[in-house]
Structures are given as structure tokens and as C-alpha cells.
Chain A
């Protein structure tokens, strides 16, 4: 019997759900980046726009968490198919990567928006 069926199905669901969230976030992000980058960029300009904005903080917090789910699950297939790395060690490494992304990401969100 296929003992990993349930777990891997949930990973697939999480991947597609986070993809849908990221699709929206990425469109907004690309739009704001292209808008902001016109004519050059300084820290003061960026931080002047972003500091103290609760709405943007919430948006980017969601963005970070969705990315922290999506990227490791995506890499999971790559590691298995192109490096032959399967099993618990791969999944542990990816979990660590997810935690790293979430931690660094939330640090950045607080740095820029709080």
C-alpha cells in the first residue's frame, strides 16, 4: 500500500495553495518594485514609504510565509529527481530551509515596515 500517499497529497495541496497566494503577492510586488525603481532608489525613499504601514506589513508577512512554504516543497522534487536525494534527511534539510526563510523574511518585514 502507498503509505506516503496522504502526506505527499497534503504537500501538493500546500504547494498549489501557496502558489495561488504567491501569484497575487508577486503581481503586486512586481508592480510596486517597477514603480518604485523608476529614476533610482535610496534607503530613505524606500523606508519613507514603508515604515509604519500596517497594511503593507500584513501583506509582506503573508508573502514571506507563503514563500517559506512554497520554495522548500518546490526544491523537494528537484533534490529527488536531479540529485537523487530522497528520504528523511532531505525532508529535514528542507524544513530547516523553510524555517530559515521564514525567520530571515520576518526579520526583513519588521525591519522595513515596523
Chain B
């Protein structure tokens, strides 16, 4: 288990094994019975909030949904904080950059109607709505961001989650911020830096495919540029 911050080391703990034990159970046991100074995050512990995301045996996962039986090799586990993010302490990563990039990608709905207008009619089976729905369940856990090589290589890269959210808004016909959003997600810090490694899609615990969303953004941005709208 990683202890420390940017400088630190892996420390060894012996933890009793139980049936149906999750990695979060292991971490909690260590903090409650072996070392109360251990810092880590969790909240719902039932796979809804994404707070417990950590690196387990080198792979970013939700620890509350990772059974020890599935991942332990020879009864050993290697637990570290999420990659590609500064470490606050021990297993706690600083998610500020992740959410800052979400904002930079204009990942916020920009409405054009007021309470005095009628509802916007959105056909649920329209192509655009289906595309948006495919990515809308993202809870911002950071697993995709931690798994992305381009995030590691390019500090400005907005990352799969921010771009996925931007795509769901581009596909939302109620949204009025399209032009600015496309400009925000274009370029080497945006969708064009994605090289389709697809680690994000491989690791997303909600089975979202940010690669698909980023592909959509590439097409939308190119179309805007060709029309002189970018």
C-alpha cells in the first residue's frame, strides 16, 4: 500500500481474508485496526459514487466493487492512489485538475429557455439523444483519466471524462453553448490528442465509451471548421 505523497513508499500490511471481501474492505480494515493514520476516500461503498477509485495491482478500479478473489495474486494486493493526479496523502488523489478540465471543456449545460417558455420536446429515440444517453451516466470517478496515456504525456489534455461530458452536451439539442464548446474541445489539448488507445473505454466501470464520444467531437469540430464556424 502506498504511504506518503509524491515521495513515499509501499508499506506492507497483513490483513485477514474473508469471503466476498472487497479491496475497500481491506483498506478499511487497515485504517481501523492496523494504522489509523492511513488516508483514503470512500462514501457509498456500493458502486454509485466513484469516490473509492484507486489503483489496484496497477489498474484503476472502484475498490468497493473489486472483489479480492478476482484480483489478488498469490494472496497479495498492491494498492496505490489513482494515477495521473497529484497525491495529497497515501491513497487520496487531488481531483482538482480533473474537475478544472471538466470546466475548461465547457462541461456545463447552457440553457436558452426560461420558466416562461414551453418545455423543449426531445424525442428519446433520436440519434442525438441516444448518443447523449450513451455517455450521460458518467459520475466523474476519474478512472478513465487515470488510465489514459495521453493524460500522462500531455499535461494540458482535457481527458476522456471531460470530453465525454462535452459530447453529451453537444448532442443535447436544448444546449445553446455549442460553438464555444466546440472551440474549447478542439486542438492538442482537446479531442485531437486522443490516439484511440481506448484504455478509458476498457476501464470505465459504467461501460461508457469516451473513445466514441471523442470521435464524435472530432467529427463535429471538423465540420465546424470546414463551415468556417470554429
Contacts and interface: CB of A to CB of B under 8 A. Distances in A.
Interface of A: 1-2, 4-13, 16, 77, 80-82
Given A9-B192, A12-B222, A13-B225, A4 B150 contact: no
B193 A77 contact: yes
A8 B189 CA distance: 10
A9 B188 contact: no
Interface of B: 150, 153-154, 183-184, 186-190, 192-193, 195, 218, 221-222, 224-226, 230
A1 B104 CA distance: 9
Given A1-B183, A2-B183, A9-B222, A81 B150 contact: yes
Nearest to A84: B153
Given A1-B184, A81-B153, 10 more contacts: A2-B186, A4-B187, A5-B183, A8-B186, A8-B188, A9-B186, A9-B224, A10-B225, A12-B222, A16-B222
B225 A6 contact: yes
A4 B225 contact: no
Contacts of A16: 222
A9 B153 contact: no
A2 B154 contact: no
Nearest to B195: A77
Contacts of B188: 4, 8, 77, 80
Contact of B187 (A2, A13, A81): A2
A13 B154 contact: no
Contacts of B150: 81
A2 to B, nearest CB: 5
Given A77-B193, A77-B195, A9 B154 contact: no
Contacts of A10: 225
B153 A12 contact: no
B107 to A, nearest CB: 14
A8 B187 contact: yes
Contacts of B190: 2, 5
A11 B189 CA distance: 14
A11 B218 CA distance: 12
A82 to B, nearest CB: 7
Nearest to B157: A81
